[in-house]
Amino acid sequence: MENKEQNVILDSISEGVFTVDLDWRITSFNRAAEEITGIGHQDAVGK
């Protein structure tokens, strides 16, 4: 699945969802996760 399509799907989910890579770095962070944590997408991804 293309990354843009994946982001659209994740953003449509009302639950907070984030994904991590094998090194436990956040690779995606949906809008609900932003609202729940108070952390913006740009600040979360890559951490």
Residue ranges covered by each domain of the chain: 3-44
Pairing state of beta strands 26-29 and 18-20?
Answer: antiparallel
C-alpha neighbours within 13 Å on the C-beta side of residue 39: 16
pLDDT, position 2:
65
- Longest Cα–Cα distance of the chain, Å, equals 28
Q: What is the mean pLDDT of each run of 10 residues along the chain (47 residues)?
A: 80 92 94 95 93
* List of residues 6+ apart from 7 with CB closer than 8 A: 28, 30
pLDDT, position 10:
87
pLDDT, position 1:
55
* Amino acid occupying residue 12: S
Estimate to the nearest angstrom the gap between the alpha carbon of 17 and the chain centroid: 6
